[in-house]
Amino acid sequence: MRVLNKRYLTFFVFFLIAGILLAYSLNMKADKAFIFYAILGAGALVYFLAKRKILIPLMLAALCLGNILFIGQMYTDFSKIRPHTEYTITGRVCDYPDKSNPNAQYTLADVEISDGSEDTAFSKRVLLRTPDHSFEYGDIVTFRSAVYIPEGETMPGAFNNRLYLASRGIGFSAYSDTAQKTGYRFMPYGIFVRAREALESNIEKTHSPGTATIAKAMFLGIKNEIPEEITASFSSTGIAHILAISGLHIGIIALLLNFLLKKTRMKRNARFILNISLLILYLSVTGFPVSVVRAGLMASFLLIGRWKFAQRDSLVFLSAAMLAILIADPVQLFMPGFLLSFGTVFGILCLYNPLRRIFQNKKTESLHPAGEMLCVSVSASAASYPMTAYYFNNIALIAPLANFIAVPAATFIVLFTGLSALITFISVSAGKMIAAVSESFIKFVVISNGLISRSGWGSEAIYRFPVWIGISVFAAIFVASDYFMAKIRIKAIIIAALFGAAALFAALPGINDNLTVTFLDVGYGEALHIAYKDENILVTNATESAAYNVNSYSERNGINYDLLVLTESGRTHYDGALRILKSGAFRGEAVLAAASDDIAETCRDMEIRMREAGKYDKLYNKDGLEITVLNTSYNAISLLVSFRSENVCLLSGHSAKRSEGMVEKAAVLRVASEGNKTSLNPEILRQISPRYAVISVNDNPYGLPDSGTMDLLSEEGIEVFRTDKNYSVIMTVDENNEITMRPMVNED
């Protein structure tokens, strides 16, 4: 019995995505990819010659294509650029400037980088941040700045800056407070830039300041001016999508254009061509942001389907839109906006009809428009839940109701904002009269959503949401759809099995019995997070950089610490510790290398226990996990972490000359002092006898870690992980005390 129709384009897109994911997960470089292509190509050729069937080779071709496209977009040629070196950089402003913050952001194209003796054309764009707000589209800008290669995901849950910049075609970002305009180049697209500026000005003339920011976001995509409290409120109820131009807004405009064009009695072909052309014109005025292009492509393919194809398979047209975007920009696959847009549309396509059959009148097969809207809202929300849990650490349980209220209002906001902006070119008074409608709906949405968000039961915080649960949810959504052609009983069994397996796996005993030690990449400084069962321990020297990154890591992952160990004393370290304590991510005991009056006072105010570390103190001793102080001299602490009676990690806080009393055998050594030349000596290293060494070091111009330290570790056959190369490193100790080291990035 067939349960799936042959949708070759959808299958092609599936394998294209698999190729992109493979390249990302394996951090594949061109040389590895060549071997991969050769093996796949040979296999595909053998299969084709033997079976004379093209489907399998076509799918393998899609796999290779996804691989090639992702590697190509992520690659930036820095071969002629020395990191940390200051260059003169020149480029043309090629996008709408973002001037909403003290440091304006300009995307520069046609970039040239000069070291004073040679000019080098840079193949990608550059993102410039500068306090100068005077530059406009087409301006040639010259500035001095050091070049830093962008970093990826440096800590679990951290923002992946390298991936984000790659999605915009940007090679690196730079800062300069001395940037100067050195010329101007006219570009035809500047006409659309001026048009958007004029429409923006008209919206500001006809709307109050409080509503203009939302009106501009919903009609022109200018969302960086919306107050943070509004954004947070809309996010908590699952309707943040209406604050940016999305499929909803493009759909409203496409339906309005189609309705108006029908009234002209224009021929069908001409009507559809004009409709798509006007959509492209609208996209041009908004500046072709990724979210708008994505929505425009989806709307265009669906329009083409209605125009040219008698049998309209929406899933195929959705696949076509996804294919077009991923071929042009494969990194979009990892952007939350891309996944939310396509995921929610996928949810609507899969769940709308089954839900409609449940609620419709059984005799007439009709459903009230409010019921139709509720089916759409529930379908979209069900598909969005896994993605909001993974990317934004919350599930808006109230989203179906909030969308039920907000989406119809958004229709009127977009419609009347657009009309008022256009009419204002003729008459400001008439524009204000029309804008009064959109203002009323904006105020209604803001007030009603504020009441919902403050109810306390609208949103549920979820941290470290597993990807496999999200995949299970989408598999269940697909099985429930009409695309999966099986009997209802079989569908119910499969869906129950999917959710049952997910629940069983999550509830398995012992799943949290592993010890996890995460050596965090915090830049200049040291920090590690020890997690065991439901306990969280932070060990850090709390430099300014360490404190900032620890707080960011804790917030993104929803971590509250039961024990804070400050491994160094001094004003800088105390200030960093105070920032961590006051961040709200702490609930237990603080242990310091040396006492501090400021920290003591803060601990008293927060009702936190504080004590000074003593030699051989057991800072933690519970359920087989022990943390022991080995040395407290020279205003620093060295620690030994033992798990089930075995020494698994030694955290050195001292140079080799100051390490008396701290030598214990351990499987993992955290090398002190960024691996400088005094951090180790051969005798102590042989006594510790580690299998692995971790060096917390930032990308620096001082040559750290020292080459002598690295040579010594290499001579002893110790595998080394560095946070400047591998980013954060995660050590896992299982129930058999087997140790696994997993870096965020594997460097070749």
Q: Which of 589-593, 630-634, 689-693 is the least confident region?
A: 630-634
Distance CA 290, CA 40 (A): 32
Instruction: Give the least confident one: 112-116, 132-136, 306-310.
Output: 306-310
**CA-to-CA distance for 317 and 328, rounded, in angstroms?**
17
pLDDT, position 11: 85
The C-alpha atoms of residue 383 and residue 396 are separated, in whole angstroms, by 12
Pairing label, strands 586-592, 561-566: parallel
pLDDT at 24: 86
* DSSP string for 345-393: HHHHHHHHHHHHHHHS-TTT----HHHHHHHHHHHHHHHHHHHHHHHHS
Q: What is the pLDDT of residues 594-629, one digit of tens each?
A: 767 777 888 888 778 888 888 888 999 988 899 998
45 with 33: CB under 8 angstroms?
no
Q: What are the pLDDT digits (tens) for 653-684?
A: 765 444 445 567 899 999 988 888 888 888 88
Q: What is the pLDDT of residue 8?
A: 79
Rounded percentage of the chain residues whose pLDDT exceeds 90: 28
Name the band, by pLDDT with cuts 50, 70 and 90, for residue 148: confident
Q: What does the radius of gyration of the chain's CA atoms come to, in whole angstroms? A: 29
Query: Looking at this protein, which amino acid is placed at residue 545?
Result: S
Q: How confident is the model at residue 79 (pLDDT cuts 50, 70, 90)?
A: confident
**Would you say residue 363 has pLDDT above 80?**
no
HSE toward the beta carbon, residue 484, CA cutoff 13 A: 20
- The residue-averaged pLDDT of 340-366 equals 84
Q: Does the structure show a pLDDT above 70 at 230? A: yes
For position 315, what pLDDT does the model report?
82
Dihedral angle, C-alpha 530, 531, 537, 542, nearest 10 °:
50
Q: How confident is the model at residue 30 (pLDDT cuts 50, 70, 90)?
A: low
**pLDDT at res. 3:** 47
> pLDDT digit string (tens) for 637-661?
888 999 998 999 988 876 544 444 5
Could you read off the pLDDT of 38-66 as tens digits, one per residue? 666 666 666 666 666 666 777 778 888 88
Kindly report, residue by residue over 369-410, the tens digit of the pLDDT. Answer: 778 888 888 888 888 888 888 888 888 888 888 888 888 888
Backbone angles phi, psi at 579, to 5 degrees: -65, -40
Mean of pLDDT values over 723-728: 90
Mean pLDDT check: name the lowest of 103-117, 291-305, 338-352, 485-499: 291-305
CATH level 3 topology of 86-187? OB fold (Dihydrolipoamide Acetyltransferase, E2P) (2.40.50)
What is the rounded average pLDDT for all residues in the chain? 84
The total of other beta-carbon atoms located within 10 Å of residue 432's CB is 16
Evaluate whether 86-187 and 515-743 have a shared fold: no
pLDDT confidence tier of residue 37, bands split at 50, 70 and 90: low
Tell me whether strands 692-695 and 668-671 are parallel, antiparallel or unpaired: parallel
The domain made up of 515-743 is a member of CATH 3.20.20.60: no
Does residue 1 carry a pLDDT above 60? no
Q: Is the dihedral of CA 402, 403, 407, 408 positive or negative?
A: negative
Percent of the chain with pLDDT over 70: 90
Domain boundaries along the sequence of the chain: 8-74, 86-187, 193-344+394-464, 468-507, 515-743
**Beta strands 180-184 and 586-592: pairing type?**
unpaired
Q: Return the structure tokens found at 491.
A: 């569908």
Euclidean distance between CA atoms 397 and 380, whole angstroms: 12
DSSP conformation letters of 399-449: HHHHHHHHHHHHHHHHHHHHHHHHHTTT-HHHHHHHHHHHHHHHHHHHHHH
The mean pLDDT of 298-312, rounded to a whole number, is 65
Q: What's the whole-number mean pLDDT along residues 25-46?
A: 67
How large is the average pLDDT for residues 141-164? 89
Q: How confident is the model at residue 296 (pLDDT cuts 50, 70, 90)?
A: confident
- Confidence band, pLDDT 50/70/90 cuts, at residue 184: very high
541: tokens are 């020297």
Least confident interval from 9-23, 25-39, 182-196 = 25-39
The whole-number average pLDDT for the span 710-722 is 92
The pTM score is 0.81
Task: Tell me the two tokens of residue 119.
Answer: 């000019």
Q: What pLDDT is stored for residue 139 in this prediction?
A: 95
DSSP string, 492-531: HHHHHHHHHHHHHHHH-TTTT-SEEEEE---SSS-EEEEE
Higher pLDDT, 433 or 283: 433
Confidence tier at 550 by pLDDT (50, 70, 90): very high
The long-range contacts involving 530-537, CB below 8 angstroms and separated by at least 24 positions, are: 530/625, 530/627, 530/641, 532/623, 532/625, 533/623, 535/562, 535/563, 535/620, 535/622, 535/625, 536/560, 536/561, 536/562, 536/563, 537/561, 537/562, 537/563, 537/564, 537/565, 537/620, 537/627
Query: For the stretch 282-298, what's the b/e string if a residue is b when 16 or more beta carbons lie within 10 angstroms of its beta carbon?
Result: bbbbbbbbbbbbbbbbb
Single-letter amino acid code for the residue at 298:
M
pLDDT at 49: 63
The pLDDT of 166-173, averaged and rounded, is 91
Half-sphere exposure of 262 (CA within 13 A, CB side): 6
Is the pLDDT score of 730 beyond 90? yes
Q: Are 396 and 232 in contact (CB under 8 A)?
A: no
Alpha-carbon span 539 to 524, nearest angstrom: 15
